[in-house]
Amino acid sequence: MYRSHVLVCGGTGCNSSGSQTIMKTLQAEIEKVGLENEVAVVQTGCHGLCALGPIMLIYPEGTFYSMVKNEDVSEIVAEHLLKGRPVSRLVYSETSKDGKVKPLSETTFYKKQHRIALRNCGVIDPENIDEYIGRNGYEALGKVLTGMTPEQVISIVLDSGLRGRGGAGFPTGRKWSLAKDLVKGGQKYVCCNADEGDPGAFMDRSVLEGDPHVVLEAMAIAGYAIGASQGYIYVRAEYPIAVTRLNIAIEQARNYGLLGKNIFDSGFDFDIELRLGAGAFVCGEETALMTSIEGKRGEPRPRPPFPAEKGLFQKPTILNNVETYANVPQIILNGSDWFKSMGTEKSKGTKVFALGGKVMNTGLVEIPMGTTLREVVEEIGGGIPNGKKFKAAQTGGPSGGCIPQEHFDIEIDYENLLSIGSMMGSGGLIVMDEDNCMVDIAKFFLGFTVEESCGKCTPCRIGTKRMYEILDKITKGQGTMDDLDKLEKLCYHIKENSLCGLGQTAPNPVLSTLHYFKDEYLAHVVDKKCPAGVCKDLLTYVIDPVKCIGCTLCAKVCPAGAITGTLKEVHKINPDICVKCGACMEKCKKGAISKR
């Protein structure tokens, strides 16, 4: 038995800031002072506060150390673990205000969060099935297999109001009941969509890395509900830690008989295999994903027939997203009323968001549906750095839209986001401030869809390319009013005529910025200016002759040699040579250089 547990975050975020080295040093230092039988070092999944990584939590005190460096480890061991004196300079400042230690749950980052899908992330060792069981793991599967009929399982899920967390928000229970009843008996499949592809989104990765067993347990429950004996998890190969931990988890579950034949002596067989995706965005679309599992090129096919009738290998199949599955065992254990008590009228429970962009606390947050965007950005996210103003939040990645300042107080749920031209999406939430050009943002996402379009249908393959060309023209100051009309028409054409969700939603970033930020488009087209100062072709850097003292710093730093002038004389920028890198502006101590 250990008197103290040191939890080190082993999620991808903290991993890349060096948590593996820290773990090794920690173990060595603990052995050096002879505490190896008293103090346990546990590698966990993501805690959410990725901006402050590497993160270390020491229990039972609950001390939260942030931005720990390898050099700090020996001090933590000698002071905290040996002598019981927390190293105050490393304690997350929010937990140690006014000299008193506040529990983590009371900090602004965690206070408004409610963790269901992430309940074990950052708490358990994802590579140890016993720890998952210690947190009531596999209890829901046991309850289902020993005391419930498939109908009862589906009715709880249906009644809970759980909807697909992958983006579209289809009721999970309906999906299950269709797969159970459309075709009676025979081979059926349960699939998990772990092909998280939105730029900036990492919710599913964190669940897989921090709590892989919850996905396995939920898939087995789904298998029992619809009558399937085989599951597939389609996970991208770019998530190596998630893949490793999933493999370990599957192996452990098989050894315990929680996957395999005759689980809990109920006669129910279920096993799971992994399929690695090569990182094509379109494979997150359900029909393309299943085609890819079959070993063919990942291309979507028309629906109907829907997967519930003819899915993987032409058999009835359900496909749910990682986060959707992560909610299921808790719903079975706590009942549908418990789940329904959270959220809004039509969107129940919580949603995980990957908070990124211009916000202080970038990381992973799980909030009850109905939380306002303002609360997420200003309170949980800690506001926008450098005193800049909020301009927009982008949700739903390349399929979603931008939410402007005027909707800052919107309560986040499926319907509300759709009503303002965005969407829930899988949960990427990118915050933008006044320095972001909305035309440039739209162009960025279009560039992504052009790259990722599979090419099977014409509207998406050619249409998105044409849209990108128009946007490119506009950002270069060559756009006309006619282009804006064409762009909008093209948007609706592509939306209506594309084969799959990728093309049907690809114009959303353009449509929503055209709607809310028309003035920025007009500025680019009519005035040939980029108000945010992002589009290089529309910028000129100028030196204010009154402020310039002729220090020559700017001329020295200019990589293109575009600045002329001698000591103590006013300098000048030659716009024909200037590459608009902004180096001179950064260097000038007098603030004499500005961009227009």
Binding site for other proteins (CB under 8 A): 1-5, 7, 38, 57, 59-62, 82-85, 103-105, 123-124, 130-131, 133-139, 142, 146, 256-258, 262, 264-265
CB 25 within 8 A of CB 41: no
- Comparison of 99 and 304: residue with beta carbon closer to other proteins: 99
Sign, Cα dihedral of 34, 36, 37, 39: positive
- Comparison of 83 and 589: residue with beta carbon closer to other proteins: 83
- Comparison of 1 and 567: residue with beta carbon closer to other proteins: 1
Give me the least distance between CB of 42 and other proteins, in Å please: 8
DSSP track, 78-145: IIIIIH----GGGB-GGGGGGGSPPPGGGSHHHHT---STTTTTTTS-TT-HHHHHHTTTTHHHHHHH
Q: Is 108 exposed, middle or buried (0-12, 13-18, 19+ CB in 10 A)?
A: middle
CB atoms within 10 A of CB 61: 12
Residue 260 phi/psi, 5° resolution?
A: 120, -150
- Comparison of 103 and 561: residue with beta carbon closer to other proteins: 103
CB 260 within 8 A of CB 269: yes
- Comparison of 82 and 420: residue with beta carbon closer to other proteins: 82
Give me the least distance between CB of 17 and other proteins, in Å please: 22
- Comparison of 194 and 218: residue with beta carbon closer to other proteins: 218
Give me the least distance between CB of 61 and other proteins, in Å please: 5
Give me the least distance between CB of 13 and other proteins, in Å please: 20
Q: How many helices and strands in the chain, by DSSP H and E?
A: 26, 18
DSSP track, 310-322: S-GGGS-EEEEEH
Residue 285 phi/psi, 5° resolution?
A: -80, 140
CB 115 within 8 A of CB 380: no
Give me the least distance between CB of 210 and other proteins, in Å please: 13
CB 45 within 8 A of CB 57: no
Alpha carbon distances (Å) from 59 to 42, 45, 47, 54, 498: 11, 16, 14, 17, 53
Collect contacts of 578-587 with beta carbons under 8 A, ≥24 apart: 578/540, 578/541, 580/536, 580/539, 580/541, 582/541, 583/557, 583/558, 583/559, 584/541, 584/554, 584/557, 584/558, 585/541, 586/557, 587/553, 587/554, 587/557
Half-sphere exposure (Cβ direction) of 396: Cα atoms closer than 13 Å: 27
Give me the least distance between CB of 226 and other proteins, in Å please: 23
- Comparison of 83 and 184: residue with beta carbon closer to other proteins: 83
- Comparison of 135 and 340: residue with beta carbon closer to other proteins: 135
Give me the least distance between CB of 380 and other proteins, in Å please: 19
The percent helix, strand, coil of the chain (3-state, each to 5) is 45, 15, 40
- Comparison of 74 and 405: residue with beta carbon closer to other proteins: 74
Give me the least distance between CB of 355 and other proteins, in Å please: 24
Give me the least distance between CB of 141 and other proteins, in Å please: 9
- Comparison of 62 and 455: residue with beta carbon closer to other proteins: 62
Give me the least distance between CB of 130 and other proteins, in Å please: 5
